[in-house]
Amino acid sequence: MSLTDRLAILGDKFRGLVASVKGDKMLLLIVILLYLFSIMTVLSSSSFLTNSETGGLSTLFGQIAIIAVSAFTLWGIYKFCTLKGLMRFGIAGFFISIGLLVFLTLHIRIPHLMESQYLNNAWRTIYFFGHIQLHVFEVVKVFSVLYMAWAVTTWKEELELTDENLTPQSSLEDPRGFRWIRRLAWNFKADWMNTPFFKRTLIVYLPFIIVCGMVKLGSNSSAAIIAFGMLLTLAIGGFGIKKLTGFTILIGLVAGGYMLFGKSDSDEGRNATGKSRIVTFFKGYENSLNELRQEMEEGKKNRSDYYNFIDDHRQTQAAKWAIREGRITPLGKGPGGSTQKYKVIGMFSDFMFSFICEEYGIIGALFVLFLFGALIARGTRIANYCSDTCARTMVAGLVLLISGQAIIHVLVNTGALPMTGQTLPILSDGKSAMLMFSIALGVVLGVSRLVREEIDKEEAGLEPVITHTGNDEVQQSLDDLDALDTNGFSEQ
């Protein structure tokens, strides 16, 4: 059998596999392209990522292994998830992530089992069994969105019960809303527990404050992104503009006050780092450098301060230069041609977009932007087809979390925002981030499968899992999905 025949057989098998996918095929293709491009970037950077104990191939194989694990996890969630299962998964994962944050915040170390790790002047990671490193903040990002999707959906159910004016006994038996809170209020005769304010505080406000507060001790930017994801999820779920605006302003004032008057880096805080980055961003690198030279002449600063400043901002300057050098040709310098990777410590995590621009040029940069733009488009379409509030909120919140972090990463790399240290989802080097974002995409794909199955059931005249409001709308959805999801492949 010739090579052409073998390739044709593989092509037929691939088309058959794509045609058998019940979820959003375009989204699956986007995920596959992100995985493949991630392997390409690690392959071209393997010489830099290699240390004295590993070789270039071992680095590449390590990336392929984590992608395989992530893809397997994504496929498992997509294939076997149910809406109720996703809600339980989100709640359980959220409380596990809080437990990990407490473990990290208290700097607990259980030798040879679990140990908190001090990394880059902050407590951010946990080592399991002395070998497996878990970046806790990446876990919190995804599960905080899933939790808030459940919380806002259940909150709206609670409001519906209140509007129905049920008898106390009937409300205790109704499974909607926060029945366990109603039962506690009834058993302890505490009417204040049955008030909307108490329920909002216990279910929404308090978890938000606890999570963001603990994350902020290790990373200002991660806390901001997690807060952004949770607030956006609440807004999408219909929490209420007035309540959300008031809570956001309050959180902003508290966070701003803590940034100005809180602990410095010497006290294991991250405020001094955040202040320095923001001040330098608005003043400009050259102006800040000239000001530092003047302070040295006046005796207010010394050479150590001067060189520390240059070291702190070397990465951002080299990243901008990498983007500039990538304009040599439309395809950049080609794989392995980067020179700035030897100057930027976090090139393959915090500055992956700059690296892509240098090695793959404007074509590579546009390709990355296209992939995340397509992710937003497909996520929006899936969310629009969801008649269930929780499913719609999950999808929209997760897609906006992933794409929002990608946008922030690109803006930081191009100098439009202060340095944040946030990775480019899926593409940047980072095992915890790769796994967690794959879980998020698995949830989105799983919901798209559930929507497809519902539409098929309604078309066949069977009772759907989630009720739609109109048959015309369902038929139109079916026609749209049939036209778009095939992505050019004919079903066998």
Whole-angstrom Cα distance, residue 172 to residue 101?
Answer: 34
Q: What is the average pLDDT across 258-268? A: 57
Candidate ranges 289-303, 405-419, 461-475; pick with highest mean pLDDT: 405-419
Instruction: Give, in degrees to the nearest 5, the angle at Cα 405 between 401 and 406.
Output: 120
pLDDT > 50? residue 276: yes
Residue pointed to by tokens 């897609």: 399
| pLDDT for res 379 | 94
pLDDT > 90? residue 481: no
| pLDDT for res 261 | 66
- Residues 6 or more apart in contact with residue 383 via CB below 8 angstroms: 392, 395, 396, 399
Whole-angstrom Cα distance, residue 485 to residue 473?
Answer: 18
Report the side by side order of strands in the sheet with 109-110: 109-110, 114-118, 123-128, 132-135
Whole-angstrom Cα distance, residue 239 to residue 204?
Answer: 10
| pLDDT for res 1 | 66
Whole-angstrom Cα distance, residue 277 to residue 123?
Answer: 20
Give the mean pLDDT of the chain.
Answer: 82
Assigned token pair, 273: 């780092």
pLDDT greater at residue 42 or residue 79: 79
Give the model confidence (pLDDT) of 133-185 as tens digits: 999 999 999 999 999 999 999 999 988 888 787 777 788 888 888 889 988 98
Whole-angstrom Cα distance, residue 276 to residue 401?
Answer: 26
Q: What is the average pLDDT across 50-63? A: 61
Candidate ranges 91-95, 320-324, 383-387, 474-478; pick with highest mean pLDDT: 91-95
| pLDDT for res 207 | 96
Q: How much of the chain exceeds pLDDT 70, in percent?
A: 84
β-strands 109-110, 132-135: how paired?
unpaired
Position 294 confidence tier, pLDDT thresholds 50, 70, 90:
confident
pLDDT greater at residue 46 or residue 231: 231
How far is CA 215 from each of CA 98, 210, 220, 224, 430, rounded to the nearest angstrom? 10, 9, 8, 9, 18
Q: How much of the chain exceeds pLDDT 90, in percent?
A: 39
**Residues making up the chain, counted from first to last:** 492
pLDDT greater at residue 135 or residue 349: 135
| pLDDT for res 492 | 37
| pLDDT for res 466 | 47
pLDDT > 50? residue 471: no
pLDDT greater at residue 194 or residue 142: 142
Closest C-alpha to 315, from 290, 279, 351, 283: 351
How far separated are the first and last CA of the chain, in Å rounded?
A: 24
Give the model confidence (pLDDT) of 83-110 as tens digits: 999 999 999 999 999 999 999 999 999 9
- The SS3 call for residue 398 is helix
| Element of type H or E holding 126 | strand 123-128
Closest C-alpha to 445, from 378, 371, 377, 388: 378
- The SS3 call for residue 389 is helix
| pLDDT for res 34 | 94
Position 76 confidence tier, pLDDT thresholds 50, 70, 90:
very high
Whole-angstrom Cα distance, residue 445 to residue 448?
Answer: 5
Whole-angstrom Cα distance, residue 25 to residue 72?
Answer: 17
pLDDT > 90? residue 445: yes
Give the model confidence (pLDDT) of 20-31 as tens digits: 778 889 999 999
| pLDDT for res 287 | 81
Closest C-alpha to 38, from 336, 352, 320, 338: 352
Domain boundary assignment for the chain: 24-104+131-451
| pLDDT for res 474 | 44
Q: Is residue 133 left, alpha or beta, with left meaning phi > 0 and alpha meaning psi from -120 to 50?
A: beta
Q: At what angle do helices 303-325 and 352-385 cross, to 10 degrees?
A: 70
Whole-angstrom Cα distance, residue 246 to residue 381?
Answer: 30
Instruction: Point out which residues pair with 135 in neighbouring strands.
Output: 125
Lowest mean pLDDT among 42-51, 311-320, 360-369, 385-394: 42-51
Whole-angstrom Cα distance, residue 438 to residue 451?
Answer: 20
| pLDDT for res 440 | 97
